[in-house]
Amino acid sequence: MAIVLASTSRYRADLLARLGVPFDTAAPGIDETPREGEDPAALARRLAREKAQAVSARDVGSVVIGSDQVAICEGRRLGKPGHRASALEQLQHQRGRTTTFFTAVCFVQGGEVLWEETVLTRVRWRDAAALTDAVLLRYIEIDQPLDCAGAAKSEALGMALIESIEGDDPTALIGLPLISCQTALTRLALSPLHQAA
């Protein structure tokens, strides 16, 4: 059975490749604007599902995986900064604080939801004494985290900015919760670990 990742994110594709399943990628092309009053977990769940369903509508026979991540720090939603000034401002805002990342994943086939889960990760950032503006600017220059919610790559040098991480799945913070994905692949008999050689 074909698997399609409803994403153009290289981070998500690299993560899914770790599970040893062949897959294609497709751009979901959905509107990701939050709805009025929509909480972060609900937003992540809805967007993951809508991404998967959008691609599934074009490819009804495949199992389509959608995922989305919403980051919140002190009530403020942090998206992908896009440029250096915004990345610096996001990192300054997070110094000494905790950011909660809601990472949702949804498996869909023929428009029907087969599996979905939302994983929470809490990141405690080092304080302003450790994360001076000069340190943050140097980090941005080296890691170029302009396409990452919260402006830090935990899988790279961004780990140096973090005091602690609390969560059940370390890959969720990068953008795709592999423990949840493996559970779904196993239940759907798509995991290479559960197929005859």
pLDDT tens per residue, range 21-57: 999 999 999 988 989 999 999 999 999 999 999 999 9
Query: How far apart are the C-alpha atoms of 90 and 131, rounded to whole Å?
Result: 12
In this structure, what CATH number is given to the domain that contains residue 7? 3.90.950.10
pLDDT tens digit sequence for 122-146:
999 999 999 999 999 999 999 999 9
Domain containing 91: what range? 3-194
Q: What torsion do the CA atoms of 162, 178, 71, 51 make, to the nearest 10 degrees?
A: 160
Contact 67, 103 (CB under 8 A): yes
- Res 16: pLDDT: 97
Q: How many domains does the chain have?
A: 1
pLDDT tens digit sequence for 151-188:
999 999 999 999 999 999 999 999 999 999 999 999 99
Residue closest to 47 by CA, chosen among 33, 26, 61: 33
Report residue 26: phi and psi, to 5°. Answer: -150, 140
Runs of H (alpha helix) within the chain: 10-17, 40-58, 84-94, 133-143, 178-187
pTM across the whole model:
0.93
Query: How far apart are the C-alpha atoms of 15 and 81, rounded to whole Å?
Result: 22
Report residue 12: phi and psi, to 5°. Answer: -65, -40
Runs of H (alpha helix) within 79-171: 84-94, 133-143
Active site residue 68: yes
∠ CA 28-29-35, rounded to 5° = 105
Residue 110's Cβ-side half-sphere holds a number of Cα atoms within 13 Å equal to 2
Query: Of 14, 24, 68, 168, which is the active-site residue?
Result: 68
